[in-house]
Structure 1
Amino acid sequence: MEIRYATNPAATKAFDTEQLRNEYLIEGLFIPGELKLVYSHVDRIITGGVIPTSQAIALEADRKEMGAEFFLARREIGIINVGPRGSVVVDGEEFVMETKDCLYIGLGKREVLFKSEDSANPARFYLNSTPAHKEYPTAKAAISEAEPNHLGSITNSNERTIYKYIHEQGIKSCQLVMGMTLLKPGNMWNTMPCHTHNRRSEVYFYFDMPEDGVVFHLMGEPTETRHVVVRNEQAIISPSWSIHSGVGTSNYTFIWGMAGENQEFADMDPVTMKELR
């Protein structure tokens, strides 16, 4: 498990490109036959990816870093399959996961196994995990069951569909909020006009991008913005004080996962366009 420590805005505005990438960008999330985890001290969110091939892969705690007997001893987790069909087995109960389906697993579940239906064309499970204080039931939400929210316009290059999975009116959790945004062809901007939310942090995971495509992800305080070049199947950590927006070389999809004290989706601090620098 890789560890990332929290940073502050005063230090971040002096970072060069390499430092920005080392602190906030998560690369190499998907390795065939392995589970990759990054533990951030920003709201103690864990971000990960797993590709099960010929054998199931277990979600196991790093006892040294987590101080727990099993991964969900004090945590909850949201999982979205961004690859072909697979399944997640939770204490013996199997949940089949099609592409873009979401599964929430609550506090206290001891055994979580990731499986692919076809080892030659394996599933790709992306996950966010946050600390939890109460057990909520395991629940699956297929993308076909999620209520789409259509926003934006082609005029502003941000026509998109938002799918909320884990939130106050959807799958219940302690603090994790998780969903997915799909930009329509010909649209490149996400989360602009932008915002911050001092009560929670966020992680963006970009995917469904061509091999030579990139997103110029904007971060930093509104008056001290920086950019990080993000490629397909990479994630970026956004502290509560930072904006989180981006523009791509083509349309793309991204998963957003939030951690913190407030689960209300609309709780944000808007930033006007004239404030940005």
Structure 2
Amino acid sequence: MMEVKYAVHPDDYKHYTTEILRKHFLVEKIFVKNEANLIYSHVDRIIFGGIMPVNKNIELNNMLNELKSEYFLERREMGVINIGADGIVTIDGTDYYLKSKDGLYIGMGAKDIQFKSIDQERPAKFYVSSTPAHTSYPTVKIEISKANPVELGSLQTSNERTIYQYVHPAVCKSCQLLMGMTILKEGSVWNTMPCHTHDRRMEVYFYFDMDDDTRVFHFMGEPQETRHIVVANEQAVISPSWSIHAGVGTKNYAFIWSMAGENQDFEDMDLIDVRNLK
């Protein structure tokens, strides 16, 4: 299944009710048993979502109507991070075993891609992001120990966290996709503050590792026209390039971030002074 979400102009979003805001920017259900549940966003043409094989293999090439392509990665690249139990991604006959929090970059041109779990009682949960690509780079398995860790924040500002860069120039080559995972330490609840925009790239946040009664208040919008979306466990928010993207939780949590757009410079961002937020 692939849902299509269209781009939104910042002048329009100012008039949205909570219900409409959630309809256009929030994805409430990422993982569905024995399905590839994907979202095609017209914001930089990113595709993201969850693949959760339980008692059967799941392959991508049965969802090609929206792409009008011969196979899924004919003109695309993909990043994968497993947040569930052990699983296998098979790419053109080669198996890649992914434990929890292991990742994978799949280059353009890979034709036969299948996902399966080792134990159906403890299924894998593959979170994926895919962007248009212009050339083919090698497929790379990225264990969390091989991701590039960046320590940021402090307990005093309630945002002490580790950013693990998976699909990133410091780890592997990709065309435009950037993808990684941020884990907040106990006692920290802000995923970033001061917040920022990056007009050359959009971003998707996928929140997970949350208790049933934990919520994240995800802030978005232009700096002088902010709104918030209340997000539960294993839900995702689309952040257009014109929007800030910051969240504060009722408890610490983790999230996977994916970016698509003009460049791959992780530091390319426009910081917003907290005093200028409205």
The reply to whether TM is greater than 0.5 is yes
1:236 corresponding residue in structure 2:
237
1:128 corresponding residue in structure 2:
129
For 1:145, the aligned partner's letter is: K
Instruction: State the superposition RMSD in angstroms.
Output: 0.8
Query: SS at the partner of 2:144?
Result: coil
Query: SS at the partner of 2:119?
Result: coil
Deviation at 1:61, TM superposition (A): 5.1
Q: Does 1:58 align with 2:59?
A: yes
Q: What is the rounded CA distance, in whole Å, between the counterparts of 1:110 and 1:210 in structure 2? A: 37
1:93 corresponding residue in structure 2:
94
1:111 corresponding residue in structure 2:
112
Number of residue pairs aligned between Structure 1 and Structure 2: 277
- 1:75–1:89 CA distance, 2 compared to 1 (3 A): same
Q: What is the rounded CA distance, in whole Å, between the counterparts of 1:111 and 1:216 in structure 2? A: 39
TM-score w.r.t. length of structure 1: 0.99
Query: SS at the partner of 2:158?
Result: coil
Deviation at 1:60, TM superposition (A): 2.0
Q: What is the rounded CA distance, in whole Å, between the counterparts of 1:217 and 1:63 in structure 2? A: 32
Deviation at 1:63, TM superposition (A): 2.9
Q: Deviations over 1:59-90 (max 9, x none)?
A: 12533211111100110000000101111000
Q: What is the rounded CA distance, in whole Å, between the counterparts of 1:125 and 1:210 in structure 2? A: 20
Query: SS at the partner of 1:72?
Result: coil
Residues 1-277 of structure 1 correspond to what in structure 2 (within 5 A)? Answer: 1-60=2-61, 62-277=63-278
For 1:236, the aligned partner's letter is: V
Q: What is the rounded CA distance, in whole Å, between the counterparts of 1:108 and 1:273 in structure 2? A: 44
For 1:69, the aligned partner's letter is: E
Deviation at 1:146, TM superposition (A): 1.9
Structure 1 consecutive aligned stretches of length 4 or more whose deviation exceeds 3 Å: none
Q: What is the rounded CA distance, in whole Å, between the counterparts of 1:145 and 1:136 in structure 2? A: 18
Residues 148, 171 of structure 2: 8 Å contact kept: no
Query: SS at the partner of 1:190?
Result: coil
Q: What is the rounded CA distance, in whole Å, between the counterparts of 2:64 and 2:82 in structure 1? A: 26
Deviation at 1:235, TM superposition (A): 0.5
Q: What is the rounded CA distance, in whole Å, between the counterparts of 2:174 and 2:257 in structure 1? A: 15
Residues 61, 68 of structure 1: 8 Å contact kept: no
Residues 165, 178 of structure 1: 8 Å contact kept: yes
Q: Deviations over 1:130-167 (max 9, x none)?
A: 00010000001100222321111111000000100111
Deviation at 1:58, TM superposition (A): 0.4
Residues 61, 69 of structure 1: 8 Å contact kept: no
Q: What is the rounded CA distance, in whole Å, between the counterparts of 2:53 and 2:63 in structure 1? A: 19
Q: What is the rounded CA distance, in whole Å, between the counterparts of 2:226 and 2:250 in structure 1? A: 20
Q: Deviations over 1:190-214 (max 9, x none)?
A: 1210000010100000000001110
Q: What is the rounded CA distance, in whole Å, between the counterparts of 2:62 and 2:199 in structure 1? A: 29
In structure 1, stretches of 5+ residues that fail to align are: none
Query: SS at the partner of 1:14?
Result: coil
Q: Deviations over 1:178-201 (max 9, x none)?
A: 011000011100121000001010
Residues 214, 229 of structure 1: 8 Å contact kept: yes
For 1:120, the aligned partner's letter is: E
The worse-fitting range, judged by mean Cα deviation, of 145-154 and 22-31 is: 145-154
Q: What is the rounded CA distance, in whole Å, between the counterparts of 2:188 and 2:62 in structure 1? A: 40
For 1:39, the aligned partner's letter is: Y
Q: What is the rounded CA distance, in whole Å, between the counterparts of 2:21 and 2:217 in structure 1? A: 13
Q: What is the rounded CA distance, in whole Å, between the counterparts of 1:145 and 1:71 in structure 2? A: 27
Query: SS at the partner of 2:88?
Result: strand
Q: What is the rounded CA distance, in whole Å, between the counterparts of 2:225 and 2:153 in structure 1? A: 26
The worse-fitting range, judged by mean Cα deviation, of 113-122 and 58-67 is: 58-67
Query: SS at the partner of 1:246?
Result: strand
Q: What is the rounded CA distance, in whole Å, between the counterparts of 1:62 and 1:54 in structure 2? A: 20
Q: What is the rounded CA distance, in whole Å, between the counterparts of 2:260 and 2:111 in structure 1? A: 22
In structure 2, stretches of 5+ residues that fail to align are: none
Residues 204, 236 of structure 2: 8 Å contact kept: yes
Q: Percent identity, please.
A: 58
